[in-house]
Structure 1
């Protein structure tokens, strides 16, 4: 996730918090430092994007922006670095169990990986004329990274505008997979009865991938501590610990700007090199595969995160709105105008990614910066990474209209600024 401007219920896993607090003591000089464990903290003081970027530069993952401070996942060395910046750090209050659901329900009301596969199988079986399952590749631990292609002539690669939507790149952000599955259902059940949806399916090729970090999702969900492990990364071993932040591992401005960490224990560990994480390379290979006849077919990309109620657009690595050769004034205006329109439908806040804090090696910086696919990130709501099961339906409902509008713009995003004749003739 990126961050939030609204007050949040604070999250923490008790076991991880205890380990993190214990780890605040300096390591013995006689022993080599081992892997550090992340805990959940509230940092008081950062109020501007630049100050939040200072916090992010330590490697801490910013979970939410609150009035007067930020909530972070951080390992002990990062906590010490944040304090050296002059900011106060305190443990986040422990999240209590949702009284409306038993602990087992809190962990299983969201789709498990196996249940997601079953749901995809069912949708494809029920709508074979417009829905086709595909496997884009394997995760580090060998799980299929699956998607659903939706189009009228679904078995044919037609010359139609394409849309790519991914979710659950951060394991603990479970609501994102529910949003992706809901959109698959919205398109397939609405086809033939809803003229707007029918027209979109007939004129687009839409690729939806509900769980692109399946190993991390399975690990986060199979926990004795409810509602989850607060796991963010994938499960690929690294030189000092486990996992790479897939949303810091893409091959555009990788590790360039203080928006990720080189520490394997960090929540924002960027990997040993661009696309060093198995899942990142799988996704990037798919994006590259959509270059047909020298032209990128994908016209729109969306990465769904939680839980900050935001619509974001590139770039994350720089505060500049325009970048010569990378983001022209018209390209920025089209991104900004579409972003604001989408946010107007779901009540989220629209802004350029770096307005929050600097990041590098991210999905939408890559898809736009290297591939020139108009790119957005949704940060869903819900109040935590694990909203109560009763909240799922209402939260995914909020972004249904935004997803339809995003899909519609795939043919010519410059329509948003009235320049379709100049760019899309």
Structure 2
């Protein structure tokens, strides 16, 4: 059984893609935000794009899509990166959702199949009410603006803390990645509605304790659809510019050029590790699962969009092995990652093969707690542009169902000896 590797979390507690005007002193004007593609990129070039302050949206087959100012794109061209302009971000956003929602707090017209925070809450409460014998709704804590970070536990003896492998699924760290919330909702509904009728579901619920946090960033998610139109917002709503939650985790925070210290950047890591209340709350929940010196959560997936990738630690270094990742442990990540990818058609790779990141959830989960933690970058694989973050709601069912087998595989692997 994997034991806790480190002590407790540190005590420390985008430039806007929207059309609003930034305060004086902002690094660049939002109206200068353009969408670009860089072709033939390798990991080093993608890291250079990320470190420049550009906001990488997705990558596939060497084509990296990112948003940046014209001046920044020109500087990347000067470094030998093949950059081609796709269009103005604001124009592309307007074209993606020309019709506003009928209500200011709903998804744009045509995308009503996605769940707002209020609708998400209702679905989770209904699952708790209708399946109270196997499902229990609570909260991991609160967001910056005070919204509950819903936490659903699913197990056959849900009121008991059984000696069973625990698995955590988290979604929506990045606000605009709404498809991920739907992924977590599918996990909740599948493992409650199909319990007792589907043999695989029943066996896993009977032998595991499953935890699901469908929205780690509810404030940002609600802001992204505020006014009935998408804004392309990534971060939380802490302060004017927000913090990138997936650069705010405590392991190797800000170490390696894989995040930004500028509040204007989409990868702003915050003032300190766990300075965002959302990451601090989820980390505290994970730490609460250390029982008798042993971490009960054995496996974890953090869902993102887009690029159709399965990623494993580490993101902060290109090295496969470190003082906290032995050759055998790295091999297990590779084997499990490839097995997961074979089930859904994604591409498996180490996180840093995409580009260097630091302060990420997967790195922290593994280094601090020995949790088999991976990231899924969901649909689409490429050519997403604006639509990569905002696929039509008709894609919700097939793209979430696509990961059913992968979810089952991870739940099974959680019971395997490391």
TM-score, normalised with respect to structure 1 = 0.85
Checking the alignment, whether the CA contact within 8 Å between 1:43 and 1:87 is kept in structure 2 is no
Q: Distance in 1 between matches of 2:29 and 2:410?
A: 38
Q: Distance in 1 between matches of 2:354 and 2:138?
A: 35
- Which has the larger displacement, 57-66 or 157-166? 57-66
Match in the other structure for 1:350: 348
Checking the alignment, whether the CA contact within 8 Å between 1:58 and 1:261 is kept in structure 2 is no
Alignment of 1:143-154 (within 5 A): 143-154=147-158
Q: Distance in 1 between matches of 2:218 and 2:69?
A: 24
3-state secondary structure, aligned to 1:222 = helix
Match of 1:33 among 21, 25, 28: 25
Ranges in structure 1 where 5+ consecutive residues have no aligned partner:
1-14, 24-30, 413-419
Match in the other structure for 2:235: 233
Ranges in structure 2 where 5+ consecutive residues have no aligned partner:
1-15, 102-106
Q: 1:100 to 1:404 in 2, by over 3 A?
A: farther
Match in the other structure for 2:359: 361
Q: 1:316 to 1:16 in 2, by over 3 A?
A: closer
Corresponding pairs, count: 385
Q: Which has the higher contact order (CA 8 A, sep 6+)?
A: 2
1:125 pairs with 2:120: no
Q: Distance in 2 between matches of 1:59 and 1:71?
A: 14
Match in the other structure for 2:245: 246
How far residue 44 of structure 1 moved from its aligned partner, in angstroms, is 2.8
1:321 pairs with 2:320: yes
Q: 1:100 to 1:367 in 2, by over 3 A?
A: same
* Cα-to-partner distance string for 1:116-150 (whole Å, 9 max, x where unaligned): 00000011111000000011101000111011000
Task: Please identify runs of 4+ aligned residues in structure 1 that moved more than 6 A.
Answer: 17-20, 98-103
Q: 1:248 to 1:285 in 2, by over 3 A?
A: same
Q: Distance in 2 between matches of 1:78 and 1:263?
A: 15
TM-score, normalised with respect to structure 2 = 0.86
Aligned Cα RMSD in Å? 2.5
How far residue 330 of structure 1 moved from its aligned partner, in angstroms, is 1.1
Q: 1:290 to 1:81 in 2, by over 3 A?
A: farther
Q: Distance in 1 between matches of 2:346 and 2:170?
A: 19
3-state secondary structure, aligned to 1:379 = strand
Alignment of 1:392-403 (within 5 A): 392-403=396-407
Match in the other structure for 1:60: 54
Q: 1:171 to 1:312 in 2, by over 3 A?
A: same
Match in the other structure for 2:108: 104
Q: 1:101 to 1:19 in 2, by over 3 A?
A: closer
How far residue 198 of structure 1 moved from its aligned partner, in angstroms, is 1.0
* Cα-to-partner distance string for 1:65-85 (whole Å, 9 max, x where unaligned): 255542113357754653453
Alignment of 1:261-276 (within 5 A): 261-276=260-275
- Which has the larger displacement, 126-135 or 53-62? 53-62
Q: 1:173 to 1:151 in 2, by over 3 A?
A: same
How far residue 347 of structure 1 moved from its aligned partner, in angstroms, is 0.6
